[in-house]
Amino acid sequence: MTGPGEEMHALVERLYPLCRSITGDGVRATLDIVGEYIPLQVHEVPTGTQVLDWTVPQEWNIRDAYVADSTGRRVVDFAASSLHVLGYSVPVSATMPLAELRGHLHTLPDHPSWVPYRTSYYKPEWGFCLAQETLDALPDGDYEVCVDSTLVDGHLTYAEHVVPGQVADEVIVSCHVCHPALANDNMAGVAVAVFLARALAEQRPYHTYRFVFAPGTIGAITWLARNAERIEQVKHGLVLACAGDRGRLTYKQSRRGDSGIDRVMRHVLAVSERPHQVNEFTPYGYDERQYCSPGFDLGVGSLTRTPYAGYPEYHTSADNPDFVSPEAMADTLAVCREAFSVLDRDRRYVNLSPYGEPQLGRRGLYEALGGRSDTKQAQMAMLWVLNLSDGEHSLLEVAERSGLPFDTVAAAADALLGAGLIKE
């Protein structure tokens, strides 16, 4: 998986510098780059559109911003990093003493060399983010302050990519595209989603896979509002975020706790023997909380490495491309592919010879296992599949109950199906 890991990391490096927000040209530029990798259907939703209990806000764009000292030297400069400006800052052009300016400055005293990420989406405000050590070095005096931004009626932008399946039932994969200059949160999630979509397109998946690239919260809410009439097609879902740090994998379950994706992710992580953690659902975090809101109650979980706010670099300038690793992104991608493989192959069967154990030897089933390193496991899998093929138990349930890997159980089912002992 080194190859995809390196390619994903290169995509993160391309996306990282762009100034993204919940609306604006930064989102469009991000989707333009994603569109070089996979075809996208881009949607523009006008300001003022009612989306569930929310309203699409005005569109924000920014050209320049800085704080300059009396010599004209920029001591805080948007051109150096988009994190330096409070997201959604309204325009300002003024000169003021440092004492007055301090009320608009945001730092991280516990990490004096890092710049924080801060926003003010729904309250008109302006501000700057800077390193504490930079602030400490500023002498008293007057400073020129400029935020060259616009906040006007426009659009909220999001995009979709669909990998057609054998059935119309959908799996949604959702990631947010609104954070500026943050590599793990969430350009690593975007990169993994892109390469997951490409991998799925190389095969003929059973489910239809719909990838949603949208701003956090308001983007997912907008997507749900615009797709409410067809929401019953969504059978499973996964929110991808923080996909590239070196921490262990963390899966947050859906609101239901026993949805198909919950069971698949628990099984895949357990049998892989990867270091991991499975957390219960909470109504806070990423967009799984929108998909799992009680009116929709979709079976959507969330896959991260270190979870939301769980690492010091979270929402700071230290979340840069060096913080994410190709190996970690490749591992996240591999887990997603393994999980969706299980999801696509999970079936229920009926035993066509349910009275007593059918004779497997005369059907050549035992001989077919000869030479396999897991012959005993494979034999047990056949017996388990036969016993639980009553139309009620799925192959994943067989794997869970038997303690056998899903791949072994699925292979046993294929053999039994070929021998005419079970039917779907």
d(CA 176, CA 220): 8
For 117-125, what is the mean pLDDT? 96
Contact 161, 211 (CB under 8 A): yes
What integer pLDDT is reported at residue 3 of this predicted model? 78
Neighbours of 168 (CB within 10 A): 11
CA 267 – CA 94 distance, rounded (Å):
59
Of 87-96, 105-114, 238-247, 373-382, which range is least confident?
A: 373-382
pLDDT at 155: 98
pLDDT of residue 376: 84
Query: Mean pLDDT score of the chain, rounded to an integer?
Result: 96
Burial 218-245 (b: 16+ CB within 10 A, else e): bbbbbbbbebeeeeeebbbbbbbbbbbb
Which CATH entry fits the domain spanning 2-57+156-345: 3.30.420.40, 2.60.40.10, 3.40.630.10, 3.30.70.2190? 3.40.630.10
**pLDDT at residue 1, rounded to an integer:** 45
* Residue list for the binding site for Zn(2+): 179, 185, 315
Is the pLDDT reported for residue 343 higher than 60? Answer: yes
The rounded distance, in Å, linking the Cα atoms of 26 and 37 is 18
Residue type at 396 in one-letter notation: L
Q: Which of 235, 214, 237 is nearest to 226 (CA)?
A: 214
CATH class of 348-423: mainly alpha
CA 400, chain centre distance (Å): 26
Chain segment 190-216, per-residue pLDDT in tens = 999 999 999 999 999 999 999 999 999
pLDDT at residue 360, as a whole number: 87
Tokens representing 148 are: 């060259």
CA–CA separation, 422 and 182 (whole Å): 51
Q: Compute the distance between CA of residue 136 and CA of residue 123 in angstroms, rounded to an integer.
A: 28
Classify residue 323 as exposed, middle or buried by CB count within 10 Å of its CB (0-12, 13-18, 19+): buried
Q: Which two tokens stand for residue 238?
A: 């996964």
**Mean pLDDT on 110-121:** 98
Name the DSSP letter for residue 412: H
Indicate the residue type of 334: A
SS (H, E, C) 394-405: EHHHHHHHHCCC
State residue 134 phi and psi, 5-degree precision. Answer: -70, -45
Cα-flanking dihedrals φ and ψ of residue 162, to 5°?
Answer: -115, 130
Question: What's the whole-number mean pLDDT along residues 264-279?
Answer: 96
Binding-site residues sit at 179, 185, 315
Distance of alpha carbon 335 from alpha carbon 250, whole angstroms: 11
- Residue 90, Cβ density class (10 Å: 0-12 exposed, 13-18 middle, ≥19 buried): middle
**CATH 3.50.30.90 corresponds to the domain 59-152:** yes
Which range among 296-300, 338-342, 363-367 shows the weakest confidence by mean pLDDT?
Answer: 363-367
% helix, strand, coil for the chain, step of 5: 35, 25, 40
Question: What's residue 130's pLDDT?
Answer: 98
Q: Cα(418)–Cα(424) distance, rounded to whole angstroms? A: 12
Please tell me the predicted confidence (pLDDT) of residue 106. 98
Pairing of strands 142-152, 170-176: unpaired
384: Cα within 13 Å, side-chain hemisphere: 25
* Average pLDDT of the segment spanning 174-192: 97
The confidence band for 375, taking pLDDT boundaries of 50, 70 and 90, is confident
The confidence score (pLDDT) of residue 362 equals: 86
Asked if residues 164 and 173 have their Cβ atoms less than 8 Å apart, the reply is no
Domain ranges of the chain: 2-57+156-345, 59-152, 348-423
> Do 348-423 and 59-152 fall under one CATH topology?
no
What's the rounded mean pLDDT across residues 410-421?
94
